[in-house]
Structure 1
Amino acid sequence: MKIKLVITDIDGVWTDGGMYYDLNGNELKKFNTSDSAGIIFLKLLEIPIAIMTGENIPIVSNRAKKLQIKHIFLGVKDKLKIASDFCEELGISLDEVAFIGDDINDIKLLQAVGYSACPENAPDYVKKYAQRTIPVKGGKGAFRAFVEKLLKENQLFDKALELYLNQ
């Protein structure tokens, strides 16, 4: 299977799904830095990455900017519609997309793509719609584990690692 795009949810995948607030009421999120290795591998293989989340907060944009992720969709209500439109823009099909999500608003997209997964701590009723469950909890490196599994299953992991080591 040729994956031409990786789409990721944020809350519950890159984060533990918790909401933290500072004394001024600003929302904070804790990201696991190991997930950035997944981004590095995908970029080395020239596989585009898109963030798609129901949240519309600056911290997600800030994280994406730091990791140089160009495609960011915030405040998304219908992930399948946005993903379909984006795939049409790129000239690819949903069968060529890998997606990781963890909650009820991810189910339709989990069902529609060619490669789908949930983190270990996703609800069981969501897991049943994903093709795979990643044995790592959201916020604990689930995105990196997802990317590594995707690349290994498609015989691309060794190539990505070699590209990284030869930079």
Structure 2
Amino acid sequence: ANDANRVPHGSLRAAGDVRGNVDPPVLAFQTLFVREHNRLASELVRQHPAWDDEMLYQEARKWNIAYMQRVCFFEYVPTLGLSLPPYRGYNASVNPSIDVFFSTVSYRYGHSEITDIILRIDDEGNEVPQGHLLLSQAYFNPNLSLSAGIDPVIRGLTVRVQGFVEPRFSQ
């Protein structure tokens, strides 16, 4: 994630994906899902005290993945004017791989929805004293991104109107 040494040594945050430090929204989602995983694991250990750490980790991971898929499939995809057919169970004959064309072109589809300004909102619903962030300044700059903490970025994502899908990408 820091092959070009753009970020001072020791400044990157641990994330489940090498892109975790690219911009505040990505880091915010990584943080949100780590927190949810830990919340689920805490709940599971109370319900299943005999489970070992690996079992707790894997079960919390399954639930977390299911939550993410549910949001994508039933909340995001319908905003695109699409709907998925009802799930009819696992089908071993379906090839789960992703076509190279799809992964190269279609995965860029949502990038135009990214906005130039990253809102940072305090727990009262106001802009944080440090202000909002310009994506261009926060890109690969986790220290700036986190100068007010990650929670204001998460709150900002909840109030931000999604950008339009268009050929132009963020500045």
TM-score by length of structure 1 reads: 0.28
Q: Which one has the bigger strand percentage? A: 1
TM-score by length of structure 2 reads: 0.28
Question: Which structure is larger by alpha-carbon Rg, 1 or 2?
Answer: 2
Q: Which one has the bigger helix percentage? A: 2
